[in-house]
Structure 1
């Protein structure tokens, strides 16, 4: 983890304290993607698999983190919230895992920025996948809205 990731992880834990309890660790921030490591031991249930609620929470938070980081980089002020989400659980997770969130296309962020500058409100769709043992265990899609 580099200084960019560490600084944003500290911001995340401050803004959403519960994320620290999920054992989330931001491992990589790229221009249009963010990767988070998830801790199996902190999120397992009575079946010795990662709890579906943890998968949902980590997926939402990873996707939110991507947008929040880009908002901070752009110097925007406003409130970022999730408007809608959908998640498909494909495989049980029995190990530590990664969550990778990205925009649907490279143009999404540019459109988001331009809309926000013009209207003071913008939305963007972010996808996230939970990866466990090199397999996609869940697929998430969320609509996030920034407003003043």
Structure 2
């Protein structure tokens, strides 16, 4: 983990303290993608698989983190919230895992940024997938809104 990822992770835990309890760590922040690692033990349920609520929370957190890091990098000011989410659970998660968030297309960020700068409000779709044992175990799609 680079200093950038470490700094953002600390900021995440300060802004949304509950995220620290999810056992996630920011692993990589790229131009259009963010990867977080998740620990199995704090998220397992009575069936010895990762709790669906944890998968949803970690997916939202990873997607939010991608977008929030881009907002901070661009120097934009505003409040970022999730408006709507959808998640498909494909396979049970029985180990540590990773969650990878990305934009639907490379153009989405620039369009979002431009609309926000013009209107003071913009929305964007962010995708996330949980991967365990080299298999995609869930797919998330969230609509996020940035407003002044």
TM bin, normalised by shorter chain, reads: over 0.9
Distance, in Å, in 2 between the alignment partners of 1:57 and 1:128 is 11
Distance, in Å, in 2 between the alignment partners of 1:25 and 1:66 is 13
Distance, in Å, in 2 between the alignment partners of 1:71 and 1:93 is 31
| Equivalent in the alignment of 1:136 | 136
TM alignment of 1:1-148, pairs within 5 A: 1-148=1-148
Please give the TM-score of this superposition, normalised by the length of structure 2. Answer: 1.00
- Map Cα deviations across residues 35-87 of structure 1 (whole Å, 9 max, x no partner): 00000001000000000000000000000000000000011110000000000
Structure 1: gaps spanning 5 or more residues: none
How many residues get paired? 148
Structure 2: gaps spanning 5 or more residues: none
Please give the TM-score of this superposition, normalised by the length of structure 1. Answer: 1.00
Q: CA RMSD in A?
A: 0.3
Distance, in Å, in 2 between the alignment partners of 1:13 and 1:34 is 16
**After TM superposition, which residue ranges in structure 1, 4 or more long, deviate above 4 angstroms?**
none
- Structure 1 position 23, deviation (Å): 0.5
- Structure 1 position 109, deviation (Å): 0.2
